Amino acid sequence: MQPSRSTYIKWGSAAISLIWLAVYVWFYRANPFGGPAYDYADNWGIDLLTFVPALAAAGMATLVALQYQPGEIPRRIWLTFAIGWWCWVGGEIAGMVYDYFYWDTAYPELTLIDLCWSAGYILFGLALFYQFRAIYAEEEKNSTYLYLTLCAAALILTLGLTYLARRSGLGEDVSAFALYLAILYPVFDLVEGGAALWLFLLFRRGKWGRPWWGLIAFAIADSISIYFWIGGDEALSQKTVDILYLFSDTTYVGAYLIVALAFLSHYYMLQWPPASPKPNRP
Amino acid sequence: MAIFFRQLQGHTFNGNLADLLAEQQRFRAQQFSGLMEIENSNSICIVVVLAKGETVNAYLLQEEARLPTVLLENLQRWEDATFSVRSLPLSDVATRLLWLALDSQPGPCFEIRGAKDWQDWLNACQDEHVTGVVEIHSEACDGFFYLHNGQRLENESIFALQENLYSQVPFQAESSPWKVRLNTPRPETLAWQSLHLRVGAGQWFWHTLNRYQRIAGQRLTQILTHHLLPTIREWDWEIGPSSNTLEDRHFFARPSLAAEAYRALFMKVGEQMGIVLGSQLAQRFLSQAFEQIPPGERSVLTSHRLLPAAFVD
């Protein structure tokens, strides 16, 4: 049987994604614009190589969400998830803009980037919440309060962790608010990465679970950065640290690509009429 | 001589055993479902029920009783060499309802006059959660329908009127009184098991697809049912999966045949759900839906090994 057009597109996109990651790694290591020193042009290249997958992830998520009718639970899940990705696209753009204006100086403590990341995390959390509710609640119930309670618990937990971090001497050179934000991200990563891992175990090979794999990849990528941030790099050789940074940053771009590919596959799964199935006699 | 569905013409002839067997062969060749009414000169009557050309059972009609019997043994005992025969191809729904009525314990016959009396009686059945096959005879209309805990099942209703079959009660169409009989099903009979299997499988399908639709959406649910069609077409089953219901209008001669059909369909359902949601969640939703089926139907499904665990890899 001849492979269908959608099969070509899906495998073609997967191949392009791998090539994209290879280009990213090459760019990361070679610094092609700035010679031996990492400079603004190289940074811009890296940003662009990150921005395009982010755009692809947000675009594909939106396309899939719009395939569902208003009022359907999957539309609510994927649209919330898609808006989260758009927030992160906003974060990537804001990052590029801030790099332009603050290339030679430090960023302000609260930036638009932080707002975009935080909004993205909250929306991912909400999408995860909708997904879990669809799985575990047999009847649809209004449980917005439950989600708000979970958010409040995460914020309070972060507050506690900020206090502990301060006491143990972490982030002495930054304000309490900046430290709070810096700890909030790992908390979100931990909670949402854990929830995504739970969904991964629930869905296993089911196609529905694949878009969530992106959150697991982000959690892995961020956990390396967090480990270094709390001083883990001091115990490692510079070469190991460099390799882990490369792995972390590539995984971060890979996460966007995973989400985009998963939604592409999801999009073709929704096409009507479906490819004619083969009959099977009992 | 017409006894059941008298408003439908059928094929009436006088003949011997060879003629009867030839008629049965015609039903088999054409895969007709329907009935044959055979009567001798002493007004002893036997009704044969056929599903897709296959003889399901024969019943000796004796006053109010319908006794399962072996056709050839009876014919050999009859002194007449010839007898009158009325053969009537019917829809599968009509034939399987007749089968269920003949396999049930007949209740007393009573008369209902007018739409108001009819509605009052139906309301009383609903209040008392009556279960049974209702048999109606009047000048213009003969029919059967199944009351399940007082509710008339639309898919298990058939009325013959002016040479046609309808699934709606055509009460307004005539003014003559109706002779009504409530037949109580016998759980040990194959007809009753077939019905419960059908109702159980239908409910399971409905609960499963509703649950699936809630998580995966309408489009993927349509795609799932679309994937059932090739199997249904290949086997010529009169089963239509639409709007999350499994409309089974096929007359399976034995419950085991129906169970095989449902097994094939639930295999596909499990497979499709597994592709989208993964086997673990597919299993969970099939199990949850199974738990929602009333115990009677669930035990019939279980006895035919139609269990959630059987349909997911």
For the segment B179-198, what is each residue's pLDDT rounded down to a tens digit? 999 999 999 999 999 999 99
Which residue from A91, A89, A12 is spatially nearest to A268, judged by alpha carbons?
A12
The helix-helix angle for B190-226 and B295-303 (nearest 10°) equals: 90
Is A282 a member of any domain?
Answer: no
| 3-class SS string, A235-257 | HCCHHHHHHHHHHHHHHHHHHHH
Task: Read off the tokens for B277.
Answer: 């949601």
Interchain CB contacts (distance < 8 Å): A and B: 87
Report the residue of chain B nearest A78, measured CA to CA.
B216
Phi first, then psi, for residue B248 (nearest 5°) are -95, 110
**What are the sequence ranges of the domains in chain B?**
11-102, 109-183, 190-311
Q: CB contact, 8 Å: A141 with chain B? A: no
ipTM of the predicted structure? 0.86
* DSSP, residue by residue, chain A: -PPPHHHHHHHHHHHHHHHHHHHHHHHHHH-TTTTTS--HHHHHHHHHHHHHHHHHHHHHHHHHHTTSPTT-HHHHHHHHHHHHHHHHHHHHHHHHHHHHHSTTSPPPSS-HHHHHHHHHHHHHHHHHHHHHHHHH-SS----HHHHHHHHHHHHHHHHHHHHHHHHTTTTTTS-HHHHHHHHHHHHHHHHHHHHHHHHHHHHTT-GGGHHHHHHHHHHHHHHHHHHHHTTGGGGS-HHHHHHHHHHHHHHHHHHHHHHHHHHHHHHHHT-SSPPPPPP---
Q: Is residue A279 part of a domain?
A: no
**Which residues from B are below 8 Å from A134, CB to CB?**
214-215
CA distances from A171 to A30, A112, A157, A224 (A): 32, 21, 18, 18
Report H helices in chain B: 17-30, 71-77, 92-102, 114-127, 190-226, 229-234, 255-277, 279-291, 295-303
Q: Which two tokens stand for residue B215?
A: 């998580």
Residue pLDDT, tens place only, B90-117: 999 999 999 999 999 999 899 988 888 8
In chain A, how many domains are there? 1
More confident residue, B81 or B66: B66
* B contact test, residue of A6, A63, A69, A72 with most B CBs within 10 A: A72
pLDDT of residue B159: 92
The tokens for B28 are: 């088999």
Nearest-CA distance from B234 to chain A in Å? 7
Do residue B217 and residue A75 have CB atoms under 8 angstroms apart? yes
Nearest residue to B168 via CA among B103, B98, B95, B93: B93
CATH number at A23 reads 1.20.1070
Which two three-digit tokens encode residue A200? 């991964």
Residues 6 or more apart whose CB falls under 8 angstroms from that of B268 comprise A280, B227, B228, B231
Distances (CA, A) of A163 to A155, A157, A170, B208: 12, 10, 10, 49
In contact, B202 and B245? CB cutoff 8 Å: yes
Residue B195: CB partners within 8 Å, gap ≥ 6? B96, B100, B146, B156, B185
In the predicted model, what is the mean pLDDT of residues B235-250? 90
The pLDDT value given to residue A19: 97
Cβ–Cβ contacts within 10 Å for residue B163, how many? 9
Between positions 6 and 65 of A, the ones with CB within 8 A of B are none
Q: A209 touching B, CB under 8 A?
A: yes
Nearest to B281 among A202, A273, A281 (CB): A202
Task: Tell me, yes or no, if B30 comes closer than 8 A to chain A by beta carbon.
Answer: no
Where does residue A200 fall: left (phi above 0), alpha (psi -120 to 50 degrees), or beta otherwise?
A: alpha
Express each pLDDT in B137-167 by its tens digit.
988 889 999 999 999 998 899 999 888 899 8
Site from B273, B280, B287 to mutate, A interface, most A CB atoms within 10 angstroms: B280
The interface residues of chain B toward chain A in range 272-311, judged by CB-CB distance below 8 A, are 274-282, 288
**pLDDT confidence band for B174 (50 / 70 / 90):** low
Within 204-233 of B, beta carbons closer than 8 Å to A belong to 211, 214-220, 222-223, 226-227, 230-231, 233
Interface test with A, best of B207, B211, B224, B227 (most A CBs within 10 A): B227
Residue A80 lies in a domain: yes
Q: What phi and psi values does residue B32 have, to the nearest 5 degrees?
A: -80, 145
Among the listed residues B110, B99, B63, B92, the one whose alpha carbon sits nearest the alpha carbon of residue B240: B92
B264 lies within 8 A of chain A by CB:
yes
Nearest Cβ partner for B223 among A135, A205, A274: A274
Span between the terminal Cα atoms of chain B, in Å: 55
**Residue B128, Cβ density class (10 Å: 0-12 exposed, 13-18 middle, ≥19 buried):** exposed
Which residues does chain A have with pLDDT short of 70? 1-2, 35-38, 139-141, 273-282
Q: Does A205 touch chain B (CB under 8 A)?
A: yes
The residue in chain A having the minimum alpha-carbon distance to the alpha carbon of residue B313 is A205
For residue A166, the enclosing domain spans: 5-269
Among chain A residues, the shortest Cα distance to B274 is held by A206
Chain A: residue whose CA lies nearest to B277: A206
The shortest CB-CB distance from B276 to any of A134, A206, A280 is to: A206
Task: Quote the pLDDT of residue A276.
Answer: 59
Give the pLDDT score at A282: 47
Tell me the pLDDT band of B171, cut-offs 50, 70 and 90.
low
How much is the pLDDT for B75?
84
In this model, does residue B251 exceed pLDDT 90? Answer: yes
